[in-house]
Amino acid sequence: MANHVLMSDVAIKLPMRIIEGVRLQLSQIRYAMLLTGAGVLIGLVPVILLISLRHVEPELLTRDIFASTDSPIYTGFLSNLGLFVWSAAAAIWLLAALLLARVDLRHPLLPFAIGSGLFSTLMLFDDAFMFHELLLPDYLGIPEKAVMLAYILIAMSYVGLNIRHILRSPYILLGMAVGFLGLSMALDEFVRISELETLIEDSLKFAGIVFWCGYAATAAIQIVEGMIDKPDTPAGARANSD
């Protein structure tokens, strides 16, 4: 009899607890739900527009590129890997920015983290959709050199606005990233393209992306730990202590 009463009590209270838990969780994740929904729309709306306005075949927009083009599975291996690394860097910076914002919306490092995340995202989209090579020159009539100049100015502005924070961060990693990416750009601009030059250029670019992601991870850890803004400790010593 006692067991029957206990089971009846659990059968009544358990659904109420689940409902209350769902209500509480929804109130806690409402902003995450909105952002996630926005992310779904950002992906689907262009697909729907291209299908309805440009009459693009749906499978070209939704299927895996290897299945659509019958390309070998290793096609664009290094390029795709670079996209993964750009994505990781963007996620690291933006997560650090979110954590800083939750602590203090006026935190001096918040613009640095947001700017780094947005720059990583811009480079990700440029690589993924060939902004400076194809999309902007061919579809919007903006010369490739003008786009590259704009990117250089954005990068210089990023460094100039954040130089104080950069000098307190593991800037050797940043310097390596800038060096490799710069060499890749110079090779692309001034050296006649052949298979060997393409391999070297893309390898340098990939190395730059990886070093940028390494810089993002190390700097983000320091930001979250509150270490990066301590002027009395040299960046190199902090990096070694990590």
Both tokens of residue 112?
A: 């640095």
Name the band, by pLDDT with cuts 50, 70 and 90, for residue 10: low
Both tokens of residue 14?
A: 């358990």
Q: How many helical (H) and strand (E) elements, i.e. helices and strands, does the chain have?
A: 11, 0
Average pLDDT on 71-88 reads 92
Rounded (5°) CA angle 133-136-142: 105
* % of the chain beyond a pLDDT of 70: 87
Average pLDDT on 15-21 reads 82
Q: Is 215 exposed, middle or buried (0-12, 13-18, 19+ CB in 10 A)?
A: buried
- 166 vs 73: which has the higher pLDDT: 166
Say whether pLDDT at 98 is over 50. Answer: yes
Q: What is the mean pLDDT of the chain?
A: 85
Name the band, by pLDDT with cuts 50, 70 and 90, for residue 11: low
Instruction: Output the pLDDT for position 189.
Output: 76
Name the band, by pLDDT with cuts 50, 70 and 90, for residue 236: very low
Spatial neighbors of 109 by CB under 8 A, at least 6 apart, are: 100, 165, 223, 228, 229
Q: Please report, as a single letter, which amino acid is at residue 225.
A: E
pTM over 0.85: no
Say whether pLDDT at 235 is over 90. Answer: no
Beta strands in the chain (DSSP E): none
Q: How would you label 36-46 residue by residue, b for 16+ Cβ within 10 Å and e otherwise?
A: eeeeeeeeeee
d(CA 28, CA 22): 10
Instruction: Output the pLDDT for position 54.
Output: 86
Name the band, by pLDDT with cuts 50, 70 and 90, for residue 5: low
Instruction: Output the pLDDT for position 239.
Output: 40
Say whether pLDDT at 231 is over 70. Answer: no
pLDDT tens-digit profile of 139-181?
788 888 888 889 889 999 999 999 999 999 999 999 999 999 9
d(CA 90, CA 109): 16
Average pLDDT on 43-63 reads 89
Say whether pLDDT at 205 is over 90. Answer: yes
Both tokens of residue 143?
A: 């010369």
Whether residue 85 contacts residue 124, with contact meaning beta carbons closer than 8 Å, is answered with no
Could you write out the three-class secondary structure of 68-98?
A: HHCCCCCCCHHHHHHHHHHHHHHHHHHHHHH
